[in-house]
Structure 1
Amino acid sequence: MAPPGSAHPAFGLGALTIAGGIAGYVRKNSKASLGAGVVCGSLLIASGVMISGDSQYNGHSLAAGTSGLMALGMGQRFFKTGKFMPSGLVAVLGAASLAYHVNKALEWKD
């Protein structure tokens, strides 16, 4: 059975985040990028699995929390360096994901 449409943003951003972390490690030998990318991406993918199952509220809440951390952390980095790539892009994607998943969590709240 295919996952519901509301899980796709979590799966997509999770895969993109893992790929970005790996790219940061390969290009700049950044262990922080690798660690953060794998951890955040894995949490987002886990939230997609939860959304696909019977834990929609918890899945969207986990995705919102993870996205919020990404937006906050990379937003601070963007304002410090002024470089949009990659920190500004990750901050924007994290903020958009945060807004989406908060909205969806509120729909599923008991």
Structure 2
Amino acid sequence: MLVAMAVDWVGFSYALLVSAGGVMGYAKAGSVTSLAAGLFFGLLAAVGAYLASQNPKNVWLSLGTSGTLTVVMGLRFLNSGKFMPAGLMTLVSGLMLVRLLYGIQRRPRLS
């Protein structure tokens, strides 16, 4: 019997946004570092979304990815003061982090 699993569309959208940010950094500034980091973290976010789609309790990769990007991009935003792209990625990653933490907190506990 097949059981339909909920697809983590928000997680996959986040992964796409992170990857697109890396591609845009390369296209606008020729930054190979932005391209590599964007594709790497986008891939991690996509795998995390896939894992969460298979098992809603398996959010650890997504949590680590969004947490890391929140801190790294937050520091870049504080140093540059520019909302684009660091501030936007800090905001989006922070929202993803809050979503994941809220989901963990709402889970029923085993006694």
TM-score range, shorter chain: 0.7 to 0.9
TM-aligned CA deviation for residue 103 of structure 1: 1.9
Q: Structure 2: which 5+ residue stretches go unaligned? A: none
TM-score by length of 2: 0.86
Judged with a 3 Å threshold, the aligned counterparts in structure 2 of structure 1 residues 108 and 77 are, in CA distance, closer, same or farther, namely: farther
Aligned residue identity for 1:56: P
TM-score by length of 1: 0.87
Aligned length: 107
Q: Following the alignment from structure 2 to structure 1, what is the Cα–Cα distance between the partners of residues 28 and 5?
A: 33
TM-aligned CA deviation for residue 109 of structure 1: 6.8
- Please report the RMSD computed on the Cα atoms of aligned residues, expressed in angstroms: 1.9
Where do residues 1-110 of structure 1 align in structure 2 (5 Å cutoff)?
4=6, 7-53=8-54, 55-58=55-58, 60-106=59-105, 107=107
Aligned residue identity for 1:27: K
Judged with a 3 Å threshold, the aligned counterparts in structure 2 of structure 1 residues 101 and 64 are, in CA distance, closer, same or farther, namely: same
Q: Following the alignment from structure 2 to structure 1, what is the Cα–Cα distance between the partners of residues 40 and 23?
A: 12
Q: Following the alignment from structure 2 to structure 1, what is the Cα–Cα distance between the partners of residues 23 and 103?
A: 29
Q: Structure 1: which 5+ residue stretches go unaligned? A: none
Q: Following the alignment from structure 2 to structure 1, what is the Cα–Cα distance between the partners of residues 25 and 51?
A: 28
Aligned residue identity for 1:98: L
List structure 1 segments (4+ residues) > 6 angstroms apart after TM superposition. Answer: none
Aligned residue identity for 2:80: T
Aligned residue identity for 1:62: L
Deviations 1:59-80 (A, max 9, x none): x221111001111001000110
Q: Percent identity?
A: 32
Deviations 1:64-106 (A, max 9, x none): 1100111100100011010000000000111110010122234
Range 84-93 or range 100-109, more displaced: 100-109
TM-aligned CA deviation for residue 56 of structure 1: 2.2
Larger radius of gyration between Structure 1 and Structure 2? 2
Judged with a 3 Å threshold, the aligned counterparts in structure 2 of structure 1 residues 9 and 17 are, in CA distance, closer, same or farther, namely: same
Q: Following the alignment from structure 2 to structure 1, what is the Cα–Cα distance between the partners of residues 36 and 63?
A: 19
